[in-house]
């Protein structure tokens, strides 16, 4: 196969940082209040990606990101645009993240992205939307900021700041800084006003002076219903080709990666390959594969995947809603055992909801579970999970388990989601708005049950698509073969609140007392095309 088709990943992976080490590519993304944070994906060709690790083993400080009822929840906070690079001098990967909900920049290192990452004492500064450069002489720099872009030189070990200087100011809102040295020039790749990719270029050194130029302006996405491609990273191939991995707003899925080639002119300014028949241009649906990947076998992406819980740890595609209570779950005898970890009436305030990103254009997620160890007051099941949620599950009361469909569960900002503090955006506190209501129910006949969600994830964010609805349906089965729908179709929100898209959520919480357990043997994910009916 000599070409690839966008999106390269139809999953919620915003603010991508992309790098190459030898012949292997790595990509990191924002993960907000989900834990472990900052997923890392690996690829041999920039097109086919697999989850390989997380840079942030537990959101810090752990008490700030725990759903234990002792403090405010952390929805909308956590890992925003962060940076990942490899340092050849000591063979270490470095990850830096200004964790929303704190005023610090946290540092993690690892010999390999799939290893356990080591946390270092944080820098007592908030490098908002930062990008790391490791220069040819091994000096480390971080570009960061919004309307004011600064460059900080780090100490030789990369663990503290040596100095910092303002290098560019703008009346426009800037974010998502990435810093590079290419052909002897210094670049800061930054998003302007949420739809324009701007480049700052200096031939005088990492502190400038910098000249600014818009590289793409409100370019049209190749994916109908999604917004302009923006905010991401540049990466080169072993043979010197350059590519730009951006993201596009494609709710209800979230923000998903798009890939395009990049060429540099004689003065060192890049140009994203696109159809420039007008000022905006059109990002293409299909491009030629990177030359180095032509030798690789281009297998079709699988349409079906089973996630079994037979290993000693969870696969890296799974993330918890907030930091989990690790004393309340385990992998045992080929099953995931979810013990209740919170006494609450709200799905959104319950610890240990395990999530998996949805995959477009449509996903079918089927969970096989044993409910025999639930106790009175327990609420267990699977959900379409984000700030507005619905679920199919089991409510057990007075010894009688009921199969239920619930919608209307919602959390949201107390006032506004994002404020402005010390010259940067800051994520503000949220509250539970509604625990939802049972809209359909029936007695659960046997303890083993398969719960299924089928969801339409086609982008409906802009243009005429913004008026279209996207729905999920909830089904159950007692044999894993014949399924019946419970309750009406659920209309997904396309709001950008919290900046995350929908995930599948697996949960078990108590409304009376702790002690009940849900046992899950596997989860099947099937990709389907809603446009085909």
465 pLDDT exceeds 90?
yes
419 pLDDT exceeds 90?
yes
CB of 1 closer than 8 Å to CB of 289: yes
On the CB side of 188, how many CA atoms lie within 13 Å of its CA?
Answer: 35
**Taking Cα atoms as reference points, which of 146, 261, 282 lies closest to residue 218?**
282
The predicted model gives 51-57 an average pLDDT of 98
Full set of structural domains in the chain with CATH: 3-293 (2.115.10.20), 304-532 (2.60.120.200)
Residue 327 DSSP label: G
pLDDT digits (tens, 9 = 90+) for 279-292: 999 999 999 999 75
pLDDT at 71: 84
d(CA 417, CA 33): 14
pLDDT at 525: 98
State if pTM tops 0.85: yes
Report which secondary-structure segment, H or E, holds 261. Answer: strand 255-264
Two structure tokens written together for 296:
């690789």
pLDDT digits (tens, 9 = 90+) for 337-388: 999 999 999 999 999 999 999 999 999 999 999 999 999 999 999 999 999 9
Encode 85-119: b = buried (16+ Cβ within 10 Å), e = exposed.
Answer: bbeeeeeebbbbbbbbbbebbbbbbbebbeeebee
77 pLDDT exceeds 80?
yes
Diameter over CA atoms, the chain: 76
> Which residues, 6 or more positions from 30, have their beta carbon under 8 angstroms from its beta carbon?
14, 15, 38, 79, 80, 81, 82, 499
d(CA 298, CA 87): 30
**DSSP assignment of 296-313, as one string?**
S--PPPPSEEEEE--SSS
pLDDT at 300: 58
d(CA 107, CA 83): 10
pLDDT at 342: 96
d(CA 488, CA 437): 13
Rounded (10°) CA dihedral 32, 493, 253, 523: 90
299 pLDDT exceeds 70?
no
The predicted model gives 478-495 an average pLDDT of 97
Confidence of residue 309 (pLDDT cuts 50, 70, 90): very high
The predicted model gives 5-32 an average pLDDT of 98
pLDDT digits (tens, 9 = 90+) for 234-258: 999 999 999 999 999 999 999 999 9
d(CA 198, CA 178): 11
End-to-end CA distance of the chain: 28
pLDDT at 292: 57
34: left (phi over 0), alpha (psi -120 to 50) or beta: beta
328 pLDDT exceeds 80?
yes
297 pLDDT exceeds 80?
no
Encode 234-273: b = buried (16+ Cβ within 10 Å), e = exposed.
Answer: bbbbeeebbbbbbbbbbbbbbbbbbbbbbeeeeeeebebb
pLDDT digits (tens, 9 = 90+) for 128-180: 999 999 999 999 999 999 999 999 999 999 999 999 999 999 999 999 999 99
1 pLDDT exceeds 80?
no
Two structure tokens written together for 58:
């537990």
């Amino acid at each position: 196969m000599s070409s690839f088709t966008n999106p390269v990943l139809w999953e919620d992976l915003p603010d991508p940082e992309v790098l190459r080490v030898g012949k292997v590519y790595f990509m990191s993304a924002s993960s907000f209040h989900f834990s472990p944070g900052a997923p890392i994906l690996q690829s041999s060709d920039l097109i086919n990606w697999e989850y390989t690790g997380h840079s942030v083993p537990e959101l810090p400080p752990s008490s700030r990101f725990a759903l234990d009822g002792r403090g405010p929840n952390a929805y909308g906070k956590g890992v925003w645009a962060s940076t990942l690079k490899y340092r050849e001098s000591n063979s270490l990967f470095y990850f830096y993240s200004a964790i929303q909900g704190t005023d610090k920049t946290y540092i993690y290192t690892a010999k390999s992205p799939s290893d356990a990452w080591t946390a270092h004492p944080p820098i007592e500064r908030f490098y908002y939307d930062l990008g790391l450069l490791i220069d040819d002489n091994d000096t480390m720099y971080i570009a960061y900021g919004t309307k004011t872009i600064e460059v900080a030189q780090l100490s030789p070990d990369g663990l503290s700041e040596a100095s910092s200087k303002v290098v560019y100011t703008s009346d426009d809102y800037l974010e998502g800084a990435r810093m590079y040295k290419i052909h002897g020039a210094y670049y800061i790749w930054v998003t302007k006003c949420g739809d324009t990719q701007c480049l700052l270029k200096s031939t005088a050194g990492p502190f400038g002076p910098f000249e600014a130029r818009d590289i793409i302006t409100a370019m049209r996405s190749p994916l109908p219903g999604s917004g302009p491609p923006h905010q991401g990273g540049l990466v080169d191939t072993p043979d010197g080709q350059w590519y730009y991995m951006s993201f596009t707003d494609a709710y209800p899925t979230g923000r998903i990666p798009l890939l395009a080639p990049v060429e540099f002119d004689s003065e060192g300014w890049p140009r994203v390959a696109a159809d420039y028949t007008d000022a905006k241009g059109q990002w293409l649906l299909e491009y030629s594969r990177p030359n180095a990947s032509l030798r690789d076998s281009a297998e079709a992406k699988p349409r079906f995947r089973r996630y079994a819980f037979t290993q000693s740890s969870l696969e890296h595609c799974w993330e918890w809603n907030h930091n989990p209570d690790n004393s309340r779950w385990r992998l045992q005898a080929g099953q995931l055992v979810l013990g209740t970890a919170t006494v609450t009436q709200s799905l959104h305030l319950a610890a240990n909801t395990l999530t998996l990103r949805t995959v477009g254009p449509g996903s079918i997620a089927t969970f096989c579970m044993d409910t025999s160890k639930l106790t009175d007051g327990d609420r267990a099941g699977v959900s379409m999970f984000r700030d507005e949620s619905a679920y199919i599950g089991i409510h057990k009361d007075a010894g009688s388990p009921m199969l239920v469909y619930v919608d209307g569960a919602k959390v949201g900002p107390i006032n506004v989601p994002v404020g402005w503090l010390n010259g940067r955006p800051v994520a503000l506190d949220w509250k539970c708005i509604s625990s939802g209501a049972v809209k359909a129910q029936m007695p659960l006949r046997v303890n083993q049950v398969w719960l299924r969600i089928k969801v339409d994830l086609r982008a409906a964010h802009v243009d005429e698509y913004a008026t279209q609805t996207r729905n999920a349906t909830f089904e159950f089965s007692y044999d894993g073969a014949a399924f019946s729908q419970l309750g009406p179709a659920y209309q997904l929100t396309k709001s950008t609140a919290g900046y995350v898209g929908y995930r599948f959520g697996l949960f078990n919480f108590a409304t009376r007392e702790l002690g009940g357990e849900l046992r899950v043997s596997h989860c099947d994910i099937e990709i389907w095309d809603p446009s085909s009916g």
